[in-house]
Chains A and B, each alone.
Chain A
Amino acid sequence: MGKEESYELGPRGPAPPKAPKGRGRRKKEQLEDMKKEMDVGLVGAVAAERLLRDGPNELRPPRGTPECVKFGRQLAGGLQCLMWVAAAICLIAYGVQEGQGDRGSADNLYLAIALIAVVVVTGCFGYYQEFKSTNIIASFKNLVPQQATVIREGDKLQINANELVVGDLVEIKGGDRVPADIRIISAQGCKVDNSSLTGESEPQTRSPECTHDSPLETRNIAFFSTMCLEGTATGLVINTGDRTIIGRIASLASGVENEKTPIAIEIEHFVDIIAGLAIFFGATFFVVAMVIGYPFLRAMVFFMAIVVAYVPEGLLATVTVCLSLTAKRLARKNCVVKNLEAVETLGSTSVICSDKTGTLTQNRMTVAHLWFDNQIHTADTTEDQSGQSFDQSSETWTLLSRVVTLCNRAQFKSGQENVPVAKREVIGDASETALLKFAEVTVGTVSEARGRFPKVAELPFNSTNKFQLSVHTAGDRQLLVLKGAPERVLERCSTVMIKGQELPLDAQWREAFEGAYADLGGRGERVLGFCARWLPAGTVAAGTDPEALPEVAVGLCFAGLVAMIDPPRATVPRAVLKCRTAGIRVIMVTGDHPITAKAIAAAVGIISEGSETPEDVAARLRVPLEQVDPRQARARVVTGAELAGMEPGVLEGILRAHPEMVFARTSPQQKLVIVESCQRLGAIVAVTGDGVNDSPALKRADIGVAMGIAGSDAAKNAADMILLDDNFASIVTGVEQGRLIFDNLKKSIAYTLTKNIPELTPYLIYITASVPLPLGCITILFIELCTDIFPSVSLAYERAESDIMHLKPRNPRRDRLVNEPLAAYSYFQIGAIQSFAGFTDYFVAMAQEGWWPLLCLGLRPRWEDTHEQELQDSYGQQWTFEQRRYQQYTCYTVFFISIEMCQIADVLIRKTRRLSLLQQGLFRNHILVIAIVFQVSIGCFLCYCPGMPNIFNFMPIRFQWWFVPMPFGLLILIYDEIRKLGVRRHPGSWWDRELYY
C-alpha cells in the first residue's frame, strides 16, 4: 500500500487554494470557511493559469512505443539477430572474394540479400499483425469527450472534462463519470461505483464526512473515471490527470517491465544451439581446409559459408506464419492477441490469476436466492434465463413479488421492449436493477403492475434508516411496502406470512429468520428484507412529508428475504475445471470482500467441493485458528490486510501450502506482488482482469488477458491478449491452442532443421573431397524459402497427438522447444539419410552423363577452371566450361529433388512424435497433403519451366532421377516408425531418452 499513503493533494509546487491536506476534524472550521469561499468557484484567469501549469485533466496515454521502435523490435528477435549476423558474414565473405578477384562469388551477395529480405519481410508481416490487433483494440476506445459541470466565478458551465483544474468546483449527478479526483463538499444520496478502481461492484455512498484516513477508504473523495450511480454531489477538484489515483495506477502499470515471452526464451535457447553447432562445424572444417592446404583466406570463406549454411533461413518465416495462423484461429474464437509470441504463452501457463468481477462473474447483481415460507428458494441466475425457476404457487410469493415490484425506484429506459430483460438498460442502482429485472422476468411487466398500484408517497433509501418504503393505492385500500436491511426490516414487523397465513412473529420465526439471513449472508450474497402492510384508504395522503412515513411503517407483515449476488458466468465453472485437468492452477485475486470472493470461488470451482480453508477447519475441529495445520486446508482466503502484514517470502510459502487460493480486498500493488510471487515459484502466470486496478498485474504477468467489453482501456493497454466476448472460457481455448502450437512448432522446427544437413554436406564434401559442387546457394534458398515453407507451415494444422488438455503444463526449464534429442535426431539421423539420398542421386546423374564417382573426387580445380574448354570425362569426351556448368546445375537440381523427395517423407514422419503415423492418419491433415502436392508442383515448375537454367540454375532433369532418392524417403519413414515404436514400447529407456524429442 506504500504509494497510497503518499497520495498528495494537488500538484507539486504551491497549491493556491489551501486545499485541506488532512481531512482531519481539527481543520473542520477552516474547511467550513473554505466551502463558503468556494461557492463561487475559481476565477477563469486562475483556472487558465493552472491549466497551463498542470496540463489538461486527462490520463497521459502510456508512452506509446513509437512505430519505428515497434518495427525495429520485429527485426531484433533471437532468430532475426542470427540472420543479421549471417548476412553480415555473407557480405564479408563476398568482400573477401571480390578482393581476391574471384568471380562467381555473387552467391554470397545473393545470400546476404535473401537473408536481409527474409528478416525484413517477416518483420513487416509481424508488424502488420501487431498493427491489426492494436487497431481492433483501439476501436474500443471511447472517443466522445467527457463533459463536466463546473462552477466558475459563480456561473455553472459545461466544459470539457480535460479543462478542469485543481480547485475547480464541480457538480456530479447520477449517470455522470466523475471528471477528476474530487473531495465532496455536499452530497444528496450520492453513490458511486468504484469497481473500475477496486473491483468491488457494490455502490458506495459519498458524503462530505471524512471516515477514514486512507483516501481509498474514506467517503468524501470520489475518484476520477468512476461512475456516479445516483444522487448528486458538489465537490472540489483535488487532483487532475495523471496525479489522480487512477492515473497513478496506470503509471504503475507502465513502470512494470514486460517479461520476455516463454516462446522468445525458447527461440533464444534454440538459436544458441544452432549458433553453437554452426561455429563448431565451421571451425572444424576451417581446420580441415587449412590442413588440406587451402590458403587462409579461402579457408576463412569456407568457414563463413558453413556458418551461414547452418542458418535455417526458412525458420523465421515458418515460426511467424505458424504463430499468426494460431493468432487468427484464436481471433475467430474471440481472443485477440496483441503480440504474436503471446499466442503460445497461454499454453505454457501454469497459474492463472483471475480477477473476479466481470471476469468470473457477470458483473451485474442478480437475485440468487429467496427466503419465504421458511424455505430458501433458488432463483435462476443464468445470463440467458435458461435455468430452473422455483415454486411460485405460494401466496407468500404473491405478496413478496408485489413488494419487490412496488418498492423499487428503478425503471427500464424506454424503447427496449424487444430487448431481452437481462440486457435492458436500467436507471437505478445495482440492487434495484436486479430486483426490477427479477420481477419483470418472474411476475411480468413491472410498469403495468406499478400502474395498477399508483404510488402515493415514498421514502427513498438512506444510510440512517437503511430501508426504503412507499405507499400505493390498491383499490379501496392502501398498501405500504418496505424493503431494507433485514434486521431493520424485522424490527418493524409484528407478523410473518407463511403459506398465505399471517402468523405472529415469535421467537421461533425470529430464529428461522436469523438462520436464513446468516446462511444467505455466508454465501456472500447481499440480503434485503421485504415486508408490507395493508392500510385503510386515506391513511397516507398524497404529498405527505416522506419523513413522516416511518411512523406509519410499524407492525408490518414480513414477506421474505431476497439475496442477490453478482453470479458467476455460466461457462466459468466448466472452464475452471478444464484448467484444473490441464494442470493449471486458478487463483482468484479480487478487490471484493472475502466472503463474496470465497462464495464465488466455491461456485466456480476455484475452491473445489470438500476443500476447506483454515477457518473452516478451525470451525469444524473447534480449535483456535492458530492450531490448524495448514496442510489440512487445501484452500485459503487471504485478504489484502493480511497480505500487507506479511514478511517477504511468507506469501510464497502460503502459495505452496494451499493449492486453492483466493485473495480478497487486494490493492493493485498487492496484485502485482501476488503475480511476482507466483513467478518466483517458477510458474508462468496468466492474469485476467478488466479494471484499471488490474493493469499493473496484467503487465507484469507472462500473459495479461483483458476483457474486451467490460475492460478498461488501461487494462487493455497493459494486456497481451484480449477476450472480445469477456468469456473466461475463451482462455481454455487459448491454453489448448497455445499447447498445440508449441507441439506443432516443435514439429515444424524439426522439419525445417532436418534439411540443413543435406544443404550443408554438399559444401563440406566439396571442400574436403573437391568434387564439383553438388548443390548451389540459390537452390538452397529455393528449398528454404520456397518449396519447404508450405509443408512446414502445414504442420501447424496438425491435430494433437494426445489429449493435451489432460497433461500438465510444460516445465519451462525441462520441456524445451528445441532440445538435444530433436537437434541430434534431425541433424545426424534424418538429415544424414537425406544427405546420402542427395549424394546418391548426384553421383548417379554425374555417372550417367559421363563422370564416374572416382573421377569426381579431386576434380574441382579443373572443373571450375573457366579456361579449361576440353576437360576429359571418364569416357574421354571433352567438355567445355559451359557444358560443365550446365552439368553442375543438373546436379544442383538433382540434389534439390532428392531433398524434396526426402522432405516429403520428413514432413510425414513429423506429423507425430510418439504415435505411429497410421494411428494419426496419413491424410487427415488436408492442408499438409495440399502442401506436399504444392511443393512437388513448385519443384516441377522450377525444373521444367523454360529459362530456369540461366535465371535460377535449375535444369530440366531426367525423369528417373526423381526416383533415385525415393528408397531413402521410404527408409526415413520406416526408420522413424521403428523409432516411435521403441519410444512407445519402452518409455524411459535409453532409446526413449535419446530419440524422443
Chain B
Amino acid sequence: ELLGRSHITNAFKILLFYVIFYGCLAGIFIGTIQVMLLTVSEFEPKYQDRVAPPGLTQVPQVQKTEISFTASDSKSYEPYVKNLEKFLKDYSADQQTENIVFQDCGEMPTDYKDRGPYSDAQGQKKVCKFKREWLENCSGIQDPTFGYKDGKPCILVKLNRIIGFKPKAPVNDSLPAEVMAKYSPYLIPVHCAAKREEDADKIGTVEYYGMGGYSGFALQYYPYYGKLLQPRYLQPLVAVQFTNLTYDVEVRVECRAYGQNIQYSDKDRFQGRFDIKFDIRSS
C-alpha cells in the first residue's frame, strides 16, 4: 500500500509538472500569436504573393465545372437557376439604394477609383453600383430561367476579389479579333471560345452582356478595399449566353479575362481563365 501511495504521489507530481509545463508553453504560444496579430493589419494582408494574380470563376458554381440539363425539363436546370438567382440578389436595384454605401460610377468603363488609404480612418469606403439590368437576357429579370428553358444557358463570369489589385487593361495587339471589336482602355475584356479546335463550330453564337454593353470588367470597380471597408462590394460581372450550342454533345468552353497583369498558369486552371463543359440534352 505504501508503494501504491508513493506511486500516486509521483503520478500527481508528474501531472502537476506537465500542467505547469504546458501552461507555460501555451502562454508563450498565445502570447506570440497575439503579438503577431498586432503586427498584421486588419484591412490589408501583409503579403498577397499566393493569391495574386486573381482567379476567374463563374456562376452557377457547379461541381466538376459541368453544366448539363435538358431544356424541356425544368427540374434539370433548377439548381443552376437558383444559384444564379441567389448570386444576383445582391445586384438587384433594391439592394443598392443606400447612397451612403453605394456610389454611381457611371454607365461606361472609366479609370480606377482610388479611395484613399487602407484604414478605417475615414470610415467605410463606398462601393460602385452594378446594375443588374446591364446583364440584359442574363439578368433574370425578363427570363427567370436565365435562358435555360430555351437551351440558351447564361453563365456569369467574375474575377476573384483581391485587395488592392488593379487589373491592367490589355495591350491591343495581344487580343483575339472579337475582343478588339469592342475595345475600351478601361476594360478587362472577357472572351469565351471553344477549348478545343474541333469544338469551334459547335459553340455557335456567344452573347456578352456587361456594363455599357462591354464584355468585360470596368476598371472603376477596382481596387477592392477588403470586407471590412467594403462589406457590400459588388464585383463587376460579365454575363455570357450561349445561344446556339450544339445539343447532345459535350462542348468545352474556355473563358479568359485579358489584362497585362492577368496571367494564366498550367498548374492553376482557374487563374485568369476557366473552362466549363456544356452538355445540353434535347430531350
Contact = CB atoms under 8 A, between A and B. Distances in A.
Interface of A: 828-829, 832-833, 836, 839-840, 843-844, 847-850, 852-853, 867, 869-870, 872-883, 886-887, 890, 950, 958, 964, 967, 971, 990, 994
Interface in B258-283: 265, 267-271, 274
Given A840-B29, A849-B46, A886-B50, A876 B161 contact: yes
Contacts of A873: 45, 51
Contacts of A876: 161, 163, 224, 226-228, 230, 233
A850 B48 contact: yes
Contacts of A836: 25-26, 28-29
Interface string B33-54: 1001100100111111111001
B57 interface: yes
B274 A879 contact: no
Interface of B: 10, 13-14, 17-18, 21-22, 25-26, 28-29, 32-33, 36-37, 40, 43-51, 54-55, 57, 61-65, 160-163, 224, 226-228, 230, 233, 265, 267-271, 274
Nearest to A867: B63
B57 A870 contact: yes
Contacts of A994: 14, 17
A870 B160 contact: yes
A850 B270 contact: no
Nearest to B118: A875
Contacts of B267: 882, 950
B37 to A, nearest CB: 6
Contacts of B46: 847-849
A122 B40 CA distance: 47
- Which of B48, B63, B160 has its CB near the most chain A CB atoms (within 10 A)? B160
Given A849-B50, A883-B268, A872 B45 contact: no
Contacts of A887: 50
A343 B125 CA distance: 74
A448 B33 CA distance: 96
A486 B44 CA distance: 109
Contacts of A880: 55, 57, 160, 268, 270-271
Given A870-B57, A958-B47, A848 B25 contact: no
A736 B260 CA distance: 71
B45 A848 contact: yes
A849 B47 contact: yes
A887 B25 CA distance: 27
Contact of A878 (B18, B26, B47, B160): B160
Contacts of A829: 21
A849 B163 contact: no
A958 B17 CA distance: 37
A841 to B, nearest CB: 10
A852 B226 CA distance: 14
A844 B43 CA distance: 17
Contacts of B54: 878
A883 B57 contact: no
Contacts of A828: 18
B55 A879 contact: yes
Contacts of A848: 40, 45-47
Contacts of B17: 994
7 contacts: A840-B32, A840-B36, A870-B55, A876-B227, A878-B162, A882-B271, A990-B10
A874 B37 CA distance: 12
A881 B163 contact: no
A849 B36 CA distance: 13
A31 to B, nearest CB: 75
A385 B57 CA distance: 94
A852 B50 CA distance: 15
B33 A840 contact: yes
A979 to B, nearest CB: 11
A898 to B, nearest CB: 12
A877 B163 contact: yes
Contacts of B47: 848-850, 958
Contact of B226 (A840, A875, A886): A875
A877 B51 contact: yes
A875 B29 contact: no
Given A869-B57, A950-B267, A879 B29 contact: no
Nearest to B268: A882
Contacts of B160: 869-870, 877-880
B225 to A, nearest CB: 9
B28 A852 contact: no
A990 B51 contact: no
Nearest to A878: B160
B97 to A, nearest CB: 22
A832 B55 contact: no
A51 B237 CA distance: 101
Contacts of B57: 869-870, 878, 880
Given A840-B33, A848-B47, A867-B63, A878 B25 contact: no
Nearest to A968: B28
A707 B33 CA distance: 64
A44 B14 CA distance: 85
Nearest to A884: B50
Contact of A879 (B25, B36, B37, B51): B51
A876 B28 CA distance: 30
A850 B162 CA distance: 11
Nearest to B32: A840
Nearest to A828: B18
A826 to B, nearest CB: 14
Given A840-B32, A876-B163, 4 more contacts: A852-B40, A867-B62, A877-B45, A877-B224
Contacts of B271: 880, 882-883
Contacts of A867: 61-65
A849 B46 CA distance: 6
Given A832-B22, A840-B33, A890 B227 contact: no
Contacts of A990: 10, 13
A950 B161 CA distance: 26
B187 to A, nearest CB: 21
Contacts of A874: 45
Nearest to B160: A878
A958 B46 CA distance: 12
A529 B135 CA distance: 130
B243 to A, nearest CB: 26
A104 to B, nearest CB: 15
Nearest to B45: A850
A244 B159 CA distance: 94
Nearest to B34: A853
B162 A839 contact: no
Contacts of B270: 869, 880-882
B51 A850 contact: yes
Contacts of A881: 268, 270
Q: Which 10 A-B pairs have the closest CB atoms?
A: A876-B227, A882-B268, A880-B55, A878-B160, A850-B45, A848-B46, A880-B270, A875-B226, A869-B270, A887-B50
